[in-house]
């Protein structure tokens, strides 16, 4: 049992009288009677300074604080409360504390810097003498709010970039029956460095002109641009061929040749940009909080007494249900159910997402290499106003045409998200089919609702006849960007027994063109477990304007324990053009090898169709070959890969993605490499292996398996985490090195062994120790070796010996004298 002692006036007075008067005690009674009466007055007892552990509501703050006891009152410095985020205004100011008392105790502060802990109805104060604690009980709402959980996905790893040149190539040769052979070489050139990446893509074509039968060669350039990402600023700068601002769903982008600065949250995948659900509560005692999301345990946190806010990172999008279970120190549980809604379309408060672009309009893309028109500027912006409101804005144009608009994304409590926008435009009369200046406007309204087994999305857009944006001002005839009115709606729901259902509606209206309306239905039933992973899907589409139906069914069956699948399906069309197919697919292994794809299609009223394709992949290239047709077959061949210059060496590798890594084991071959715990291959004879596709800006785990190495290899690093910037490659070095290790038997000059535990020093190496039987294990031996041994008690000795290197195993050297 804890002994709680209160410093009572009588006890405190007696102790101080005895302590201060004991030196004056004599055997004569008259001497004792000479003690002044003033010492017996309690108001004159000097203050006491104590160093105690501060405990609040049964929870130790892990702080040893200074407590001053004066006249049976306790005082604590305000700065301690401020450090604990407790408002000192809740406490009474000092009463009996004086400046001379603090000076007498050696405390350099003023009385108004202290507060009185006791003599308040809301606070209970006690002093635990046996544990040297000051115990406080106060209302839990006085205590600071605790932030639990996290608001990020994972701990950030700063991305790196190597330096080098890359050429991705994809060669495709097509040889149609009774026609000339054509060649296409899709290439990508990339220079990457810590200062960004410069990228160019294009296609070289060689074909025979059908008119004059002459062979023509040409090169079509697609895009060329330089890109630099700043993780600290969460921004990307691009110069060259770019897309205009594209942050809002109700705007459209165009290709430009110019410059763009934009917020880029994709380079910081550790951040969570949308508002997280927060669950608040209050605990009077130390407790444990368990959080369950949709019935699954999400987190467990230990909390101190006081209010708390629990941040959750639910891996769902839409409506969910959280259950917060609080268990206090005495085992009492309180369970609270809280519904919530998560939407990735919203931004966290005070987050600003933007894109600013300026450049010349790219025209005849894919036809002419350098064809740039009018100068265009654009801006897109999104700002998180509150957890339930995100504001949007857009502006684009030049002297001939411009439009601007505003929008919002609004969370309707736990019942979905509503998004609306309004845009206004003006366009001048010029050569773009406009006889006079016009102005117009556009409205959009959308609604989304998601939950685990049900979802609904709808978007309606309507624009006036003369509404113009850059995309349709310079382009005419495309229904997708010139639609006067469009409506898209879809709904999906699922049950455990019946499977997943989907319904969709798509409608487009445009002056001068026929309206289109399409209704889509789908069903993926749950099949019996005896079918071992087989899947079935059914779909039907109805053209509401043409009053026609088409439907289809597809069945996929896994083939044994291999990577094989058998697919079959039937397509019904109301006009009689029905078809059926059967397909066999053997998937290529992830680590490389062969893959096969065979298809036969039956077409009602026309010839059938056959196709056969073989794929092969290794660490250096992808190869494919195939034939297709009915009686006369077309042939095609493909070869894809990469050539890279890094570390002053040219490498051939499989086609590399936006980011990749080169694993180096310091020239040692046949070392297994794992990427994210998956075995991806072994290093080649030069000690290299490419990881062709890595997730940009994600700190991936790379590891080596040194078990294949003999005992004379040292692997100081076998695992590390590294992130690569977008568009670049990094070098992940594992400093594997070959060493000659040995067990050295030492002895004194008189033949006695050295004492176990003696410290052994080798120049340029970490110290080691003498083991039992006077054995010293040396990991890296030289041809000539000098060991200095500290024997203790001021004694030392030196051993010198030679060693034969390049042995495959640990060597043993006996009878080495330490002099």
Predicted pLDDT at 291: 84
pLDDT in tens, 10-41: 444 444 444 344 433 333 333 333 333 433 33
Instruction: Label residue 95 by pLDDT band (50, 70, 90).
Output: low
Task: Please indicate, yes or no, if residue 427 is contained in any of the structural domains.
Answer: no
Do 728 and 683 belong together in one domain? yes
Residue with tokens 């040889």: 175
What is the reported pLDDT for 147?
A: 65
CA nearest neighbour of 508 among 479, 531, 474, 528: 479
| 219/169 same-domain check | yes
Q: Is residue 162 part of a domain?
A: yes
Last residue of a domain, one of 699, 733, 767: 733
| Same domain? 102 vs 187 | no
Tell me the pLDDT tens digit for each residue of 709-719. Answer: 777 778 888 89
> 767: pLDDT confidence band, cut at 50, 70 and 90?
confident
Q: What is the DSSP string of 485-512?
A: EEEEEEEEEEETTTEEEEEEEEEEE-TT
Mean predicted confidence (pLDDT) in 73-79: 85
Q: Mean pLDDT over residues 253-274, rounded?
A: 92
Which CATH number covers residue 62? 3.10.20
Backbone angles phi and psi of 113, in degrees to 5: -90, 5
Helix (H, G, I), strand (E, B) or coil at 68: strand
- Residues 131 and 59 grouped into a single domain: yes
Instruction: Among 132-136, 249-253, 614-618, name the most confident range.
Output: 614-618
Mean pLDDT of 436-462: 93
Q: Is residue 419 part of a domain?
A: no
Q: 311: closest CA among 365, 258, 348, 286? A: 348
Mean residue pLDDT across the chain: 85
Share of the chain above pLDDT 90, in %: 41
pTM over 0.85, yes/no: no
Whether residue 619 is found in the same domain as residue 710: yes
DSSP assignment string, 47-61: PEEEEEEEEETTEEE
- Note whether 699 and 751 are same-domain residues: no
More confident residue, 661 or 680: 661
Its sign, for the CA torsion 32, 35, 40, 46, is negative
Do 658 and 707 share a structural domain? yes
- Please give the pLDDT value at position 477: 54
- For residue 96, the model assigns a pLDDT of 67
- The answer to the question of residue 692 being in a domain is yes
d(CA 99, CA 94): 11
Backbone angles phi, psi at 31, to 5 degrees: -65, -40
Segment among 364-373, 471-480, 798-807 with least mean pLDDT? 471-480
What does the pLDDT average to over 551-561?
A: 88
Arithmetic mean of pLDDT, 392-420? 94
The domain containing residue 61 runs over which residues? 48-140
H or E stretch covering 688: strand 688-691
Contact 206, 220 (CB under 8 A): no
CB atoms within 10 A of CB 431: 6
Cβ neighbours, 10 Å, residue 89: 10
Q: Which residues contact 172 (CB under 8 A, 6 or more apart)?
A: 183, 184, 185, 186, 636, 637, 638
pLDDT value for 372: 94
**How far separated are the first and last CA of the chain, in Å rounded?**
64
Q: Are residues 617 and 718 in the same domain?
A: yes
Q: Do 722 and 755 share a domain, yes or no?
A: no
Longest Cα separation, the chain:
140
The stretch 570-574 carries a mean pLDDT of 91
CA distances from 707 to 672, 673, 685, 712 (A): 9, 12, 17, 12
Same domain assignment for residues 119 and 154: no
Q: pLDDT digit string (tens) for 284-325?
A: 777 888 888 888 888 787 777 778 777 766 677 889 888 888
Of 123, 140, 157, the position where a domain reaches its end is: 140
Report yes or no on 281 lying in a domain: yes
Q: What is the average per-residue pLDDT within 526-553? A: 90
Residue 45: pLDDT band with limits 50, 70, 90: low
What is the arithmetic mean of pLDDT over 81-93? 77
CATH number at residue 289: 2.60.40.3110
pLDDT-wise least confident of 135-149, 427-441, 453-467: 135-149
Up-side HSE of residue 558: CA atoms within 13 Å toward CB? 11
295 in a domain, yes or no? yes
Least trusted range by pLDDT, from 99-108, 272-281, 471-480, 579-588:
471-480
The domain that holds 167 is classified in CATH as 2.60.40.2610
156-211 pLDDT, tens digit each: 888 999 999 999 999 999 998 878 889 999 999 999 999 999 999 999 999 887 66
Cα(637)–Cα(614) distance, integer angstroms? 10
On whether both 123 and 213 belong to a single domain, the answer is: no
The CATH number given to whatever domain includes residue 784 is 2.60.40.2070
**Residue 479: its pLDDT value, please?**
56
Does 241 have pLDDT greater than 50? yes
The predicted-structure confidence for 729-740, as pLDDT tens digits, reads as follows: 999 999 888 888
CA of residue 268 relative to chain centroid, distance = 7
Instruction: Return the pLDDT at 481.
Output: 62
Of 236-240, 468-472, 519-523, the range with the lowest mean pLDDT is 468-472
410 falls within a domain:
no
Average pLDDT (627-638) is 89
Whether residue 630 is found in the same domain as residue 688: yes
pLDDT tens profile 794-805: 889 999 999 888
Instruction: With beta carbons less than 8 A apart as the criterion, state whether 101 and 154 touch.
Output: no
**Is 4 a residue whose pLDDT tops 80?**
no
Number of structural domains the chain divides into: 4
For residue 141, pLDDT over 60 is answered with yes
The last residue of a domain, from among 342, 363, 394: 342
Does residue 468 form part of some domain? Answer: no
pLDDT at position 352? 95
């Amino acid at each position: 049992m804890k002994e709680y002692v209160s410093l009572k006036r009588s006890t405190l007075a007696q102790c101080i009288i005895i302590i201060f008067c004991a030196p004056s005690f004599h055997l004569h009674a008259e001497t004792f009677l000479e003690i002044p009466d003033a010492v017996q007055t309690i108001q004159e007892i000097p203050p006491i300074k104590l160093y105690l552990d501060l405990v609040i509501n049964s929870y130790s703050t892990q702080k040893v604080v200074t407590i001053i006891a004066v006249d049976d009152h306790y005082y604590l410095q305000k700065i301690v409360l401020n450090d604990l985020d407790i408002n000192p205004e809740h406490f009474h100011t000092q009463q009996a504390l004086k400046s001379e008392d603090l000076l007498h105790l050696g405390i350099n502060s003023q009385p108004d810097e202290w507060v009185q802990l006791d003599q308040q109805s809301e606070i209970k104060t006690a002093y635990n003498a046996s544990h040297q604690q000051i115990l406080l009980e106060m209302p839990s709402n006085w205590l600071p709010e605790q932030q639990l959980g996290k608001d990020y996905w994972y701990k950030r790893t700063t991305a790196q970039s190597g330096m080098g040149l890359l050429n991705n190539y994809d060669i495709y040769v097509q040889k149609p029956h009774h026609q000339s052979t054509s060649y296409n070489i899709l290439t990508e050139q990339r220079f990457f460095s810590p200062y960004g990446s410069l990228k160019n893509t294009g296609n070289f074509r060689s074909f025979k002109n059908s008119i004059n039968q002459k062979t023509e060669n040409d090169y079509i350039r697609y895009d060329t641009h330089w890109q630099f990402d700043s993780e600290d600023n969460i921004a990307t700068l691009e110069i060259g061929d770019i897309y205009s601002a594209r942050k809002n769903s109700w705007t459209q982008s165009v290709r430009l040749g110019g410059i763009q600065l934009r917020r880029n949250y994709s380079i910081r995948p550790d951040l969570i940009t949308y508002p997280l659900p927060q669950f608040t509560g209050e605990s009077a005692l130390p407790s444990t909080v368990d959080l369950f999301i949709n019935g699954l345990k999400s987190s467990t946190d230990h909390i101190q007494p006081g209010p708390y806010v629990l941040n959750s990172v639910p891996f769902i999008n839409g409506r969910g249900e959280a259950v917060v279970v609080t268990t206090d120190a005495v085992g009492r549980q309180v369970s609270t159910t809280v519904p919530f809604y998560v939407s990735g379309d919203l931004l966290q408060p005070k987050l600003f997402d933007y894109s600013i672009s300026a450049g010349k309009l790219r025209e005849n893309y894919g036809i002419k290499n350098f064809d740039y028109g009018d100068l265009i500027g654009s801006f897109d912006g999104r700002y998180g106003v509150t957890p339930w409101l995100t504001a949007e804005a857009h502006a684009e144009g030049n002297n001939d045409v411009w439009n601007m608009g505003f929008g919002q994304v609004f969370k309707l409590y736990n019942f979905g998200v509503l998004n609306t926008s309004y845009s206004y435009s003006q366009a001048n009369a010029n050569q773009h089919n406009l006889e006079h200046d016009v102005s117009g406007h556009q409205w959009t309204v959308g609604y989304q609702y998601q939950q685990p087994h049900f979802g609904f999305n709808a978007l309606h857009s309507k624009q006036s006849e003369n509404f113009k944006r850059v995309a349709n001002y310079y382009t005419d005839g495309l229904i997708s960007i010139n639609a006067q009115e469009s409506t898209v709606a879809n709904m999906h729901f699922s049950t455990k027994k019946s499977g997943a259902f989907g319904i969709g509606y798509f409608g487009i209206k445009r002056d001068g063109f026929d309206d289109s309306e399409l209704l889509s239905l789908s069903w993926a039933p749950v099949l019996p477990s005896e079918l071992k992973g087989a899947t079935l899907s059914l779909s039907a589409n109805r053209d509401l304007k043409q009053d026609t139906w088409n439907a289809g069914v597809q069945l996929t069956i896994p083939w044994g324990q291999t990577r094989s699948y058998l697919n079959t399906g039937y397509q019904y069309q109301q006009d009689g053009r029905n078809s059926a197919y059967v397909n066999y697919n053997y998937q290529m292994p992830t680590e490389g090898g062969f893959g096969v794809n065979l298809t036969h299609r039956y077409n009602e009223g026309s010839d059938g169709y056959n196709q056969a394709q073989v794929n092969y992949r290794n660490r250096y290239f992808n190869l494919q070959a195939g034939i297709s047709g009915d009686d006369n077959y077309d042939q095609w061949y493909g070869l894809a890969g990469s050539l890279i210059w890094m570390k002053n060496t040219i490498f051939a590798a499989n086609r590399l993605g936006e980011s990749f890594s080169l694993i180096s084991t310091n020239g040692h071959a046949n070392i297994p490499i794992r990427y994210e715990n998956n075995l991806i291959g072994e290093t080649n004879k030069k000690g290299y292996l490419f990881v062709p596709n890595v997730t940009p800006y994600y700190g991936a785990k790379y590891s080596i398996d040194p078990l294949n190495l003999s005992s004379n290899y040292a692997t100081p690093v076998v695992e590390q985490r590294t992130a690569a910037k977008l568009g670049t490659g990094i070098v992940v070095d594992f400093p594997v090195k070959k060493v000659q290790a040995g067990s050295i038997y030492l002895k004194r000059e008189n033949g006695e062994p050295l004492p176990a535990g003696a410290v052994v020093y080798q120049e340029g190496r970490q110290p080691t120790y003498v083991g039992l039987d006077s054995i010293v294990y040396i990991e890296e031996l030289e041809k000539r070796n000098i060991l200095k041994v500290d024997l203790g008690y001021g004694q030392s000795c030196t051993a010198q010996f030679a060693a034969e290197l390049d042995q495959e195993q640990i060597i043993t050297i006996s009878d080495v004298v330490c002099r």
